[in-house]
Amino acid sequence: MRVVFAGTPEFSVPCLEACRGSGADVVAVYTQPDRPAGRGRKLAPSPVKQAALAAGIAVEQPESLKGAEAQAALAAYRPDLMVVVAYGLILPRKVLAIPRLGCWNVHASLLPRWRGAAPIQRAILAGDAETGVDLMQMEAGLDTGPVLLERRTPISRADTGGSLHDRLAALGAEALAEGLRHVLAGKTMAATPQAADGVVYAHKLDKAESALDFARPAIELERQVRAFDPWPGSDAEIAGERVRVWGATALDQRHAAAPGTLLAVHRDGLDLACADGVLRVTAIQRAGGRRISAADYLNARPELREARP
């Protein structure tokens, strides 16, 4: 079976490896054009491109798949199946029709909840107890296709955007590998249409969302800190200093202070008043610095401890 793989970020790499290990022939990899990265803003290849080149697979990086030339180039690979994982380009109807078996997508949510660009972080922000990955038969709509296979995983209060990303990437590769085994064995896979109810869109993350608003409940800010780790992070002002917050726990404590007030400091954290409850900040990054514990932060700002024994 001839497979064309399309993906770009680190999330996609385990699925590329699943395709390679399945027994299918990965004839080409499609990925986003090289983008400026780092302080020098030099063009850098995507993680998927790096993995494909290391494996000796042909790499294609069109700016778009809407043109006849790009579509003809794809058709020339004579794919039986196209596997799409966080590729970042829209596949027109003509592209979806090129592979004999159509196009599959690995999506990091339990559809139809969290269709769209940022399903991992939005699930944490919403306080979802569970998420997962769906292997989906693609159609023209945004993440609307019928589901072929599903893997589920709980979301704990210890999960961050990074930890959940890594777990779902592995689960996605497992689901994809199982789907490929079925097809290579000549089995027909049942496709379950998505429910009409429960559709929620996971809008793309924006740096403007990074500010912690202490006029919100503490539990929502805890989720934000976890969801936005490692990107875009969560920014706050603590006793007059702008910092980035990397660790925080919501406490069910009553108080009468204004939102954002520093209520207490101790080695376990800095307690800040919220509209409902208290947010205990446990890991902080000062401007130009690295992540440090609350205890190390207090060592750098002893006046906070002296003011609040």
Going from N- to C-terminal start, the domains of the chain cover 2-202, 208-307
Instruction: Single out the residue of 171, 121, 120 nearest to residue 150, CA to CA.
Output: 171
The correct answer on CATH 3.30.70.330 for the domain covering 2-202 is no
What is the rounded average pLDDT for all residues in the chain?
Answer: 96
Residue 112, marked binder: yes
Mean pLDDT of 211-236: 98
Please check whether residue 56 is in contact with residue 86, taking contact to mean a CB–CB distance below 8 angstroms. no
Quick one: fold of 208-307?
Answer: Methionyl-tRNA Fmet Formyltransferase; Chain A, domain 2 (3.10.25)
Structure tokens at 101: 């078996």
Task: Collapse the DSSP code of 52 into the 3-class scheme (helix H, G, I; strand E, B; otherwise coil) and give the result.
Answer: helix
Q: Assign 228 a pLDDT band (cuts: 50, 70, 90).
A: very high
Please check whether residue 135 is in contact with residue 101, taking contact to mean a CB–CB distance below 8 angstroms. no
Residue 309, marked binder: no
Interval 91-134: pLDDT, tens:
999 999 999 999 999 999 999 999 999 999 999 999 999 999 99
* Residue 300 to residue 44: CA distance in whole angstroms: 37
* Residue 98 to residue 218: CA distance in whole angstroms: 50
* Residue 131 to residue 155: CA distance in whole angstroms: 7
What whole-number percentage of the chain has pLDDT above 90? Answer: 94
Please check whether residue 160 is in contact with residue 229, taking contact to mean a CB–CB distance below 8 angstroms. yes
Structure tokens at 54: 């290391």
| pLDDT value of residue 309 | 45
Residue 110, marked binder: yes
